[in-house]
Every structure is written in structure tokens, then in C-alpha cells.
Amino acid sequence: MHMLVPSGTDGAERVLAWKMLPSGLRKKKPTVPAGNRVYAIGDVHGRADLLSEVFTRIDHDLILRPAAKIVQVLLGDYVDRGPNSREVIDLLLARQARHEVQLLKGNHETYPLRFLSDPTVLSEWRHMGGISTLLSYGVRPTGSNDLQSQQEAAMAFRDSIPDSHRRLLQSLKLSFTCGDFFFVHAGVRPGTSLKRQSEHDLLWIREDFLLHEEHFGKIIVHGHTPAKEPDVRPNRINIDTGAYATGQLTCLVLEEDRINFI
């Protein structure tokens, strides 16, 4: 469906270029409003290095192709699994200060705040890659799951997480809409209005959403379920390419009725 094209003499930066779009998308031609351009970024999972590279590519693209209104949308799962969750949050804060950025909530963003109020969450969080997040904040939990160890780790995390990071996690949105596109972390419940979706489905849904082939009312741009490459279908676009494991962080670009990747 698409191919990787080297960009730059060393080939270190790669650009995803479309050969063609599915016939369903070509027929429907979903659009964003004229003069708008949307950059949507998939699940980061602690890969600050890849996120920094994507921001650099966006900045370069903006120099080459200015637009009247730019919005950058990140689909959640900034923390866990990868090694640099704290640095990812720092990058998001810095980006917010200079650009219009819509930061959406992923299911992994539910854990840090829950852990601060309920240390027993660590038993579940560690299976979701949460230890990597704690380590990035200088917190080294023991291998034990006893309550005292969990409480000690929560206290250490409370002391180490900056207030600005906590506020960012508290401010994350569940969805964002632009034109014919609806941006969300995991997906939506088929048969339910986009305005009436539950938070749990928006953050966690998989099969019921992924296997649905009918239209949702808008094209759903989502992450949550890793794929080898961006998956563009007539009713949804999955841009989670498993960055923490594959080294590929996907950035989708929407402008008028065009769909591209950088």
C-alpha cells in the first residue's frame, strides 16, 4: 500500500509515501477544512528520540509548505514500555508552548495518576510496562508486590514527578474532531454515536471496533493496536506502528482530501 522512501543523504530519515489509497477512501474523499493541515502522531511509548525526530520532520515540512492553520494531534500512550517516558512528557510540554497541539489520552496514561492515589495499581501497571516509566523518573521499585513496597514506590514517584507533568496528564482529552476525521486513542463502539462514546471504549476497545467494516460517521484515526505499517481503511486509519519495539513512529498528514505520511 505504501513504500518507504529514504530522505537525506544518509537515509536516516525516512518518509512514507503513498502509491495509492483504498478505493473506498478515494470515493468518499474525507476532508479537513480548507486551509487546515493536521499532523497526527501514533503511540510514542517512551521513545523520546523518535518523537523528537518526528517534530523535526514536521518543522521542516512547515518551512517547505506553510499553511493557514496547523494542528498537531498525538493519540496517547506517551508513557510505559520505552525507556524515556519522562523525556517524552518534557517534549510534549515544550511543543505545547510553541504550537497548537491536541494531546489525547491513551489507556497507559490512566496508570501514573491512579498509582499516586492507589499504590496497589503497581501490580497491574508493571505488566503494562510501567516500571520503565518509574525508572525514567528515578524511581526503582523492588520486585516485591507487597503493600509496603508499593507504597514506598508511590511516595518516591510523588516526590519525583514535576507538577507540570501531573497537570499535563490530568488535562488530556479523550478525542478531537477535524472535518471528516475523529481522532481517538483506541477506537469507538460501533452503533453508538461519537458524542456518546464511553471513556473505557475510547481508551481500550479492540476487536469490536477493528472488525467493524461499516462507516462510523467519520473516519476514525486511532492507535492502540500495533501494526507493521499504517493501516488505511475506508472507515478508519490505524497509525500505531509499535514505536517502542520497531523504531517506527508514524506521523499522518491530512490536508483537504489528501492523506500522506512524513
Ordered domains of the chain (ranges, CATH): 21-107+172-261 (3.60.21.10)
Confidence of residue 26 (pLDDT cuts 50, 70, 90): very low
- Whole-model pTM: value is 0.89
pLDDT at 144: 86
Residues 156-184 have a mean pLDDT of 98
Indicate whether 121 pLDDT > 90. yes
Report CA-CA distances (Å) from 227 to 120, 240, 242. Answer: 32, 6, 7
For the cut 50, the answer to whether the pLDDT of residue 7 exceeds it is no
Q: What is the mean pLDDT of the chain?
A: 91
pLDDT band at 27 (very low <50, low <70, confident <90, very high): low
Examine the pLDDT at 10 and tell me if it is beyond 60: no
- Asked if 147 and 116 count as a contact pair (C-beta separation under 8 A), the reply is no
Q: What is the pLDDT of residue 145?
A: 86
